[in-house]
Chain A
Amino acid sequence: MQFSFEFMFATLPALIRASGVTIEVALLAMLLSLSVGTLLTIVRAFKIAIVNNIVGLYISFIRGTPLMVQIFLAFYALPSLGIRLGPMTAGILAISANNAAFMTEIFRGALTSIPAGQIEAAASLGLGPRAIWLKVILPQLYMRSLPAIVSECTVVVKGTALLAIITVVEVFRTAQQIGSSSFRPFETFAAAGLVFLIISLVISQFGMWLERRYQLRRGT
């Protein structure tokens, strides 16, 4: 059999339509993991030994186990604890839980780069903890970790392909369906690869644009 570029391009419209689900999942997971990551960072800063140990254990578990197994845990194992979720919800939950751990580590790194003098200045001006977090630390935290957040974005997008295994019909699952009904899996998966390549490219370009835009504010 010959590789058919014609067939490959013919599958693109269906795959691009399916990428709506991929992008939706990725966006939700990004938003969730950014919020959870921020929350965990603030919680960690309180330095309560037990809480920090639990957060540490959580991060270690997430970083030490495959996303695929985490997805299986969310989809197959949670029901035996009485939590029943659809494939889409379980998938978003697993990817968010995964990415939140990496986000927390990114924020931890960015936190150390904030000059101590700023916090001293803020405290001496009479700002409370709430204002220090919201007005001084967090805006800079996000700015400083922008490149890392953007690269996490592509990691999340790539992670969504694994949701095909728990029957979420995104780009990869659509490709599997087309591939098995047309007996041309090679072309279809190549087309799916192309779709992901384009999404990644758009994200990294958008990231660069954001970085340029906020370069002055970041003061670097």
Chain B
Amino acid sequence: MFDISVITGNWAYFARGIGMTILITTAGMLLGFGIGFLVALLRTATLLPLRIAVGIYVEVLRNIPFIILLFIFFYGLPFAGIRIPSQVAGTVALALFCSAYYAEILRGAMAAVPSGQIEAARAMGLTHLQILRDIIVPQMWKFALPPMAGTTTTTVKESSVLSTIAVSELTYQGLIVQGMTFAPFEVFATVAGLYWIFTAVLTWGFHRAERAVGSPEMTEVIRSKVARKYLSLDHRM
């Protein structure tokens, strides 16, 4: 039934594939987070046209299937006179895609920081940059991390679409092995299993990070020693 030799005989393909998937998703997520952060800041800009432009950017990227975004981007680059390898183009497209989701999350997370604190900081003469760096960013994580976990696993899953522009990531390698072995069941079960492991590790990592920054509801409890003694059930805190 399940021919294990398909996996053992071609493990190098799968290994290279998951390596590439980890590389492009990590690069895409970091770049996407950077763009998303900027976009989130621009959405609070005082200049109305800028705010509208950024809003359209987010809505367009969120409402078009990633595969079409990828193709628009991939075939649009030559128009702009840019020729880059498909791995790079794919990674940038992935980054643009997740930046729209990160932007929405970060905007919400930044808005969730109590406005009184920002007013107080401004009254004490802190500059915009100082407020952002010392007041908003350190506190936004507890609001941002839980939804970011979802977006990040979505990004990993969407990276499989890059196989359509011949980026040699996990799904693409799977298609190659299936072309050689004609064993689609074994191949795609293996590919699915590897993605499953990768997303499970990511989810676990986010859980750890969430515990480290504390959940929004529990912040008050964690801060107060007395409250923590009675109201927290987690012995590690």
Contacts and interface: CB of A to CB of B under 8 A. Distances in A.
A159 interface: yes
Interface in B28-66: 60, 63-66
B72 A68 contact: no
B63 A68 contact: no
B73 to A, nearest CB: 9
Interface in B134-180: 153, 156-161, 163-164, 171, 174, 178
Given A189-B71, A189-B72, A76 B192 contact: no
Contact of A77 (B60, B161, B185, B200): B185
B67 A69 contact: no
Contacts of A3: 79
Nearest to B72: A189
Contact of A64 (B72, B164, B187, B200): B200
Contacts, number: 114
B196 A64 contact: yes
B67 A193 contact: no
A66 B195 contact: yes
Nearest to A80: B185
A196 interface: yes
A65 B187 CA distance: 14
Contacts of B200: 60, 64
B22 interface: no
B125 to A, nearest CB: 43
Given A65-B195, A77-B189, A189 B68 contact: yes
A61 B192 contact: yes
B191 interface: yes
Contacts of A165: 164
B184 interface: yes
A161 B157 contact: no
Contact of B157 (A61, A67, A176, A190): A67
Contacts of B71: 172, 175-176, 185, 189
The number of chain A residues touching the other chain, given as a range, is 35 or more
B176 to A, nearest CB: 13
B76 interface: yes
Interface string A57-95: 000110111111110110011011100000000000000
A61 B199 CA distance: 10
Contacts of B158: 66
Given A66-B195, A179-B75, A189-B75, A76 B67 contact: no
Given A1-B79, A189-B75, A66 B157 contact: yes
Given A161-B65, A161-B67, A193 B72 contact: yes
B188 interface: yes
Nearest to B150: A63
B118 interface: no
Contact of B67 (A65, A162, A197): A162
Interface in A131-156: 154
Contacts of A196: 63-65, 68
A193 B65 CA distance: 8
Nearest to B71: A189
Contact of A172 (B65, B79, B199): B65
Given A179-B75, A193-B69, A70 B192 contact: yes
B184 A80 contact: yes
Nearest to A204: B63
B158 to A, nearest CB: 7
Contacts of A154: 63
Contacts of B79: 1, 3, 186
Given A64-B153, A64-B199, A66-B160, A197 B64 contact: yes
Given A66-B195, A185-B75, A197-B63, 10 more contacts: A61-B192, A65-B199, A66-B160, A69-B171, A69-B195, A72-B171, A76-B184, A161-B67, A185-B71, A189-B71
Interface of B: 60, 63-69, 71-72, 75-76, 79, 153, 156-161, 163-164, 171, 174, 178, 183-185, 187-189, 191-192, 195-196, 199-200
Ranked 6 nearest A-B pairs via Cβ: A76-B184, A161-B65, A66-B160, A200-B63, A66-B157, A158-B65
